[in-house]
Structure 1
Amino acid sequence: MANVGQRIAAERKMAGLGQQQLANKANYSLSMIKAVEQGREPASTGLISAVAKVLRITPEQLTGAPYDDGKPLSDAVNNLSVLLTEGRYARATEPGTLAEIEADLEAAQQLYRNDRTRQTIEVLPALIRRIHGAVRELSGDEKAHAYTLLTSAYVLAEWSARRTGHLLLALPALDLADGYAPLAADPNYGAFSALARARVLTHYGESEVAGQLISSAIDSSDSSREGMVMAGYSHLAGAINEARKLDYSNASAHIQAARELATHTGETDIYMTAFGPLNVEIHAHAIELEAGDPNRAALEGAKLTHGPDAPPTRIAHHWQDNARAWLMSGKPDKALVALNKARIAAPQQTRLHPSVRETLHGIAVAEKRRTETLAGFASWLGTSI
């Protein structure tokens, strides 16, 4: 099975580019391009985005995502695809009360928080159809509240599609969230939807427009706790966007701004942001890995501590990054330990994330032997080494 480096080499040659030309256009060093193509270094998310943009392909053509996780996920994705294709003409169903809808939406959000993304996708189409039913039946403040729930549900659909690697579904979900946000009772949902779009643009390497959306969200926030959470979450998105451009200084400035806001908000899951001191520190390690010193990211990231209520998917994402940092620091054994921590924290997300496969391949190349532990992880992941 081809890894990212092999796919980059193949696509580069088809585009008629030498390694130096690709390195220049993608703003990465020649040594890094060579190392990635030879499998000696794992391809970072930023490098994948930059290279894909140069080669005029999608990042998924390099990572191979989305990955097959069995028929249940396929069935769920098919139902969501139908709903998103219907768009604003979605078939509405009997809604029930707003209180019932709100409780069911919170339950779907909890599934997402707890690494049950496939189950989230399974319940969303029917739930969104019910919200459309409420929008068509209600008026006044109740209708505006229904639009708030509808916007939130489409953002959740976008997040779920992106987490499972179905980026083409994320785009219509974003369009729908953008369309309904101005009708919502909560004015912050406009910025919330824009930030979701900014994260997808960052994924595709379009940092300029992403940066504009992030700046707009920061500027529109107020001094309420909700406003500070939105601003802090925006700064975290900005930090990743700058890190993907390898601008460590600006990324660090965003982290510092988010850290200051987190001292006022504390840990909170307002707007499902999981914003607070813990998430700020997780992002600080991420930008160190992406645009700073991987060895420092490995050492400091390994010290992360958290309470029992920490969101498992955030914790797993941290250990995925920490694994890549250890591999880049020449410690493949510690990289595998970190991957197993990610697996324990959020197995579904870990199995579906492209960076895990890339890191595992790098560990196999570095160790130059097939250990039972490594082979076992690859078998669980559904890949070969």
Structure 2
Amino acid sequence: MDDDLIGKRIAAQRKARGMTQVALAHDAAISLSLLRKVEQGERDCSQSTLASVARVLRVDAGTLTGQPYDTDEPRKDRIHKYIPDLRRALNSWDLSIDLDHKPRPLSELAADAKNVAHQLQLGRNRRLAEMLPALLTEAFAMVHATDDERERDALGRVLLAYAHAAHTVAHQTGYEDLAAGVEDRIQWIASYTQDPAAKGFAAWMRTTSIMRDGLYEPGLRLLDSVRAEIEPGGRDDDATLLAVGSLHLRSSLLAGRAGNLALAMDHVEQAQQISTHLTTDTDNDWQHMAFGPSNVAIYRVASAVESGDGPRALAIADEMRLPDHMLTRLPTRVAHHKTDLARAYFWQGKHDKSLESLELARKAAPQQTRHHPAVREVTNLLVRAHRRSNEPLARFHAWLGPDPEW
């Protein structure tokens, strides 16, 4: 079980390079005490720490997290068998491919895009991985086969829905190289649409790999630039306002990981003002950019967690109540929120509350939760911290992978 901890993998990589903890902490610009706690299994490894350490050790983040998980038989997660087909379909983006069937009407592709967005909202990654290869191949082929600008615009919107789902599957399952490639495809697809929000969506997606590599300041500048470009100003354009608000929330996440809680909260406040104007929690079909008062509240907690302020995160969470429709419409957002709370509770020594939050994340979005590095890390730390049998924790740990060792 200890070997599954990110801290243990960091220690192994560090020792293999003949580095001391002092040298690694200095070069990664993190405190020595934090590094020691992470390596000793007393603290989970944050995304910002992971990015900094991976850079110094010259390894991919997946080397330290162990992703993708469960790729070996006999307990191989079924989602992995669909990844090769998904990779091949995404690789056809710039090729003129002859379909083995007559292209379907755009209305049917648009209906598929709505279904894809719905499956994405519900966190059904395995189903998406199965259905996306054929959908992507068909839509890519149709884009290259038409010279009609309006038809390309419609196909671009469809492809954005497909590509977003493909990115989510790849990223959440741990295929980060594939996810980064999808981000490039989304930049290209966005150029086919006439919707100004598409450029904001592409920038939002681009910051996934930017955050993974710890490039927070460049990422913040990118989002600032795109927000200024698409800001509707005095125009009554709710769709673009939604994109701008979502970009503010994304900036709050980058600022939090950069350790700038004040800037993170400033972006949350600006998003709050926009959400007040829009009034409802919503999603934009192909964009699936969750936005509204509830998601702003979730990001308040996330910003505090990302900056390492557990007490503040829990204090904010105590004052918020997520509406029931969040669990039915956006269970993946609820799961992210509960995972953040699990980390904050663990930091405060509230292990029962931490496990309770993990269970709620599992209930909300099981496929996403099972592959989340923070979920596995906190679970392993909880197992390590318990010297006596804890049946609920044992069951949860077994659900994630191997049986717990007591």
User: Where on the TM-score scale, by shorter chain, does this alignment land: which range?
Assistant: over 0.9
Q: Distance in 2 between matches of 1:349 and 1:168?
A: 18
2:335 matched residue in structure 1:
316
Q: Distance in 2 between matches of 1:184 and 1:90?
A: 20
2:90 matched residue in structure 1:
84
Residue among 275, 282, 285 paired with 2:298: 282
> Any gaps of 5 or more consecutive residues in structure 1?
none
SS at match of 1:115: coil
Contact 2:9 2:64 in 1 (8 A): yes
Residue among 166, 179, 197 paired with 2:206: 197
Matches within 5 A, 1:170-209: 170-209=179-218
SS at match of 1:272: coil
Q: Distance in 2 between matches of 1:292 and 1:195?
A: 23
Residue among 199, 203, 212 paired with 2:221: 212
Residue among 153, 161, 184 paired with 1:152: 161
TM-score (norm 2): 0.90
After superposition, the CA RMSD in angstroms is 1.8
Q: After superposition, what is the alpha-carbon deviation per residue over 1:101-137, rounded to whole angstroms, capped at 9, x for unaligned? A: 0010110111111010111121111111221243214
Residues 36 and 241 (structure 1), Cα distance of their counterparts in 2 relative to 1, 3 Å cut: same
Residues 87 and 146 (structure 1), Cα distance of their counterparts in 2 relative to 1, 3 Å cut: closer
Shift of residue 302, structure 1, vs aligned partner: 5.0
Shift of residue 46, structure 1, vs aligned partner: 1.8
**Larger displacement relative to structure 2 (85-94 or 355-364):** 85-94
For 2:213, the aligned partner's letter is Y
> In proportion to residue count, which structure has more helix?
1
Q: Distance in 2 between matches of 1:186 and 1:108?
A: 20
Contact 2:346 2:378 in 1 (8 A): yes
SS at match of 1:39: coil
Residue among 250, 253, 258 paired with 2:266: 253
Shift of residue 365, structure 1, vs aligned partner: 2.3
Q: After superposition, what is the alpha-carbon deviation per residue over 1:326-368, rounded to whole angstroms, capped at 9, x for unaligned? A: 0000111111111111111111111111101100111122222
**Larger displacement relative to structure 2 (315-324 or 246-255):** 246-255
For 2:358, the aligned partner's letter is L
1:20 matched residue in structure 2:
22
Shift of residue 193, structure 1, vs aligned partner: 1.2
Contact 1:98 1:134 in 2 (8 A): no
**Larger displacement relative to structure 2 (349-358 or 302-311):** 302-311
Q: Distance in 2 between matches of 1:71 and 1:320?
A: 21
Shift of residue 167, structure 1, vs aligned partner: 0.7
> Any gaps of 5 or more consecutive residues in structure 2?
none
Contact 2:335 2:365 in 1 (8 A): yes
Q: Distance in 1 between matches of 2:305 and 2:33?
A: 17
Q: Distance in 1 between matches of 2:248 and 2:87?
A: 31
1:119 matched residue in structure 2:
127
1:143 matched residue in structure 2:
152
Q: Distance in 2 between matches of 1:313 and 1:6?
A: 29
SS at match of 1:340: helix
Residue among 205, 212, 230 paired with 2:243: 230
Q: Distance in 2 between matches of 1:10 and 1:74?
A: 27
Contact 2:339 2:357 in 1 (8 A): yes
Residues 79 and 328 (structure 1), Cα distance of their counterparts in 2 relative to 1, 3 Å cut: same
Q: Distance in 2 between matches of 1:237 and 1:123?
A: 28
1:269 matched residue in structure 2:
283
For 1:32, the aligned partner's letter is L
Q: Distance in 2 between matches of 1:122 and 1:90?
A: 23
Contact 2:116 2:161 in 1 (8 A): no
Q: Distance in 2 between matches of 1:188 and 1:155?
A: 14
Q: After superposition, what is the alpha-carbon deviation per residue over 1:144-193, rounded to whole angstroms, capped at 9, x for unaligned? A: 22123223322331122112211111122122221222122323212211
Q: Distance in 2 between matches of 1:209 and 1:379?
A: 40
TM-score (norm 1): 0.95
